[in-house]
Amino acid sequence: GENVEQHPSTLSVQEGDSAVIKCTYSDSASNYFPWYKQELGKRPQLIIDIRSNVGEKKDQRIAVTLNKTAKHFSLHITETQPEDSAVYFCACNSGGSNYKLTFGKGTLLTVNP
């Protein structure tokens, strides 16, 4: 099955700095790559996603890049704020399906004021 590796497992930054989280995947048929944010005690929620027909997507302070050749994608958060502190999960669809997601193990991001 699909294997998704996510790094780092923890990340601590100062407020205003940038944060980058990276994921690699194994299934060359994967074509949908979402990122989820999970605050403590809450449900995971989608923050941005990208499909394989584009290499980069931005939404305000958040961006995602995709390198299909190397099978990796990254989440970039600029001008981090304390409310960005959370666990972030990458995911991709697996087995060539359009609906079944495999998740990375998560990155705990801490933004220090």
Partner 1 sequence: DAGITQSPRHKVTETGTPVTLRCHQTENHRYMYWYRQDPGHGLRLIHYSYGVKDTDKGEVSDGYSVSRSKTEDFLLTLESATSSQTSVYFCAISEQGAEAFFGQGTRLTVV
CB 15, min distance to partner 1, A = 26
Per rule CB under 8 A, is residue 1 in the interface with partner 1? yes
Choose, by CB under 8 A, the member of 7, 63, 103, 110 that binds partner 1: 103
Interacting residues of 43 by C-beta distance below 8 A, sequence separation 6+: none
Q: How many residues bind partner 1 (CB under 8 A)?
A: 21
CB-CB contact of 81 with 34 (8 Å):
no
DSSP class of residue 106 equals: -
Q: Tell me how many helices (H) and strands (E) the chain has.
A: 0, 11
- Rounded CA-CA distance 102/15 in Å is 31
Query: Interface mask (CB under 8 A) for partner 1, residues 36-75, using x and -?
Result: -------xxxx--x--------------------------
Two structure tokens written together for 8? 């780092």
* Region near partner 1 per CB under 8 A, out of 10-18, 54-62, 76-84, 90-98: 90-98
Q: Which residues bind partner 1 (CB under 8 A)?
A: 1, 6, 32, 34, 43-46, 49, 89, 91, 93, 98-106
